[in-house]
Structure 1
């Protein structure tokens, strides 16, 4: 089959500036390309050629201002059996007009069928033109079906994945060595490390974790929170909210570290040096991919009861879900309990790693997508 995968106009593929969709497309594209003809479309970037073939995948990149128009023209001239569009339901109609005999798949990674993002008429048109709508979580699927019941027989959850060979749990030789090296570099020897990875934005809730810190260090004086991320993907610009976080962190200089944006291929060592992972999202998160990365690295997860995040958590086995997600003390209570139980930390980490190996590797995602493409 000849398959096109279309990224959004926000970030390039490969994910040189990060981005969950970009990581997703590049990973599954390379696996599917082992048996099929795969083209990935994304925006241009100074580090990347406009057209290239790598790992069996043809990459075609267009400037952002004329991005979808350029793709539309391209598919008029190059026939595809399947066109998989990520997160842009409004693109389906013009693309379908350009290639009416192609099977269209829409994957939805956020609430793209909300009232403020698409009209009733445009949403219905999109649904009528696609063969399937794959979503990253049951939660996202429910947001589509609740507004557009006619989509019910087309919506299917296909969870995202991770490359387990890039992440090394602390009980492995490689993981132990990475942990030792990174902790030495960051001055974290002998510390209990709580990790946050994500954009430094209010909806991600890092301020709530900082507010929980006094309670945590009263019970665990050697605890350190490490925040990895920036205001936006690949950018380290500081806004008022980030300044506020830095001000809060400065109150506890021995217990807080901020690390700016880290490229996806460098993140594994920072997971490896940690003891547990916390996702404090305050918005209805579709299902943050950091959950898969934390499990792959053998870290117990504490996550908020928002959106699809709880869907990969088995309570008490690989993590805990915080119902009272706006309350710093709710996080502190669970963090304190886990930091006091080193054996439990390892048991939960091993369960999470096993869960990822069995269900959430990229080959699982690619196989699930191929079933969608072929049916």
Structure 2
């Protein structure tokens, strides 16, 4: 049987692999090696210090180009694709690049893997161009039913091209550390810890979480809110919004700890410390990897009822979903409930890990991709 040649084109924002990369590159980094025994895989990405311009990595060929100039990066990828002539070209989260490839290679089989609504919305793309780019893809892979609905709303004629493939988690890294040991290592052995992990940007809703702290401190005097993340991947720069968050936290500084950006490799240790995870994102959250990472860690999640989160967190079973109209009050109520009720918290933590193991692993994601490509998983010599 002839092996399919598949090219995965990342945006050029970060290298693959990279512990400081964004979620798009992380998905490629985790899924492609699981496909490499069944396809001839090639990853296009940006150069980075310590990484060669070309190498064989985890069964895939990695080709890296400088990406400071996005147009030059795209042009180099296009020339390489034209010479390589893959059976499938999968473009990661950049609909405009689908249009460029289609114009250069009219007969190519092009899949668009969308990770969010960001690049199918203004100011990145207007409605007319979004629809044109989506129509040029042969397949549109999305990570949630919510994101599928957003694509259909923008280009109804693409409905039969859309496939939902939920993302995963590394279950061999999350949920394997000793929570007590991790807390004591930080000097937090006597604290009840609420964990937020993610970017510090307005739509992630951290201000709602901080607004809930006075009530939470009253109910749980030893509570500690740990905020892990920065405004940008790989940077600790304080934007006006980040400064606002620090100002909000100042009256109860003993109950809030800010941890600037850390590598994704360190995240399992932070979730291991948590008694509960908070995800107060707005309605544009397409999936939210932190939800499955918390669940895989055995940590119940209190999240906004928004976007694709409702497909991950099972309300009342693996955590709680809070209505956005009453987000601050709901966060305070549900987090307080979990921190004061050990049997409930432990039961939800167990159910969350079981759900993550049974539905949200990278192996599941890779298997669904192979099925969509019409490939029976095989092991190549």
Give the structure-1-normalised TM-score: 0.93
Q: Deviations over 1:197-236 (max 9, x none)?
A: 0111121111211111111111111111000001101101
Q: What's 1:227 paired with?
A: 227
- Where does 1:194-233 land on structure 2 (aligned, <5 Å)? 194-233=194-233
In terms of mean alpha carbon deviation, does 207-216 or 39-48 score higher? 39-48
Q: What's 1:279 paired with?
A: 279
**Match status 1:67 vs 2:73:** yes
Q: Pick from 91, 95, 106: which aligns with 1:100?
A: 106
Partner Cα separation in structure 2 for residue 330 and residue 366 of structure 1: 36
Structure 1 counterpart SS, 2:147: helix
Q: What's 1:57 paired with?
A: 60
Partner Cα separation in structure 2 for residue 326 and residue 59 of structure 1: 47
Q: What's 1:41 paired with?
A: 44
Q: What's 1:171 paired with?
A: none
Partner Cα separation in structure 2 for residue 183 and residue 341 of structure 1: 19
**Match status 1:294 vs 2:299:** no
Partner Cα separation in structure 1 for residue 264 and residue 159 of structure 2: 34
Give the number of aligned pairs: 368
Partner Cα separation in structure 1 for residue 237 and residue 38 of structure 2: 42
Give the structure-2-normalised TM-score: 0.92
Structure 2 counterpart SS, 1:164: coil
Q: 1:249 Cα shift? A: 2.2
Change (3 A) 1:167 1:327: closer
Q: Deviations over 1:25-79 (max 9, x none)?
A: 0111110012221111112222322211111111111111111111001111112
In terms of mean alpha carbon deviation, does 123-132 or 317-326 score higher? 123-132
Q: What's 1:140 paired with?
A: 147
**Match status 1:241 vs 2:241:** yes
**Match status 1:20 vs 2:23:** yes
- Unpaired runs of 5+ residues, structure 2, are 376-381
Q: What's 1:114 paired with?
A: 121
Q: What's 1:165 paired with?
A: 172
> Do the aligned partners of 1:304 and 1:325 also contact (CA within 8 Å) in 2?
no
Structure 1 counterpart SS, 2:37: coil
Q: 1:120 Cα shift? A: 4.8
Partner Cα separation in structure 1 for residue 283 and residue 236 of structure 2: 22
Partner Cα separation in structure 2 for residue 97 and residue 37 of structure 1: 24
> Do the aligned partners of 1:79 and 1:99 also contact (CA within 8 Å) in 2?
no
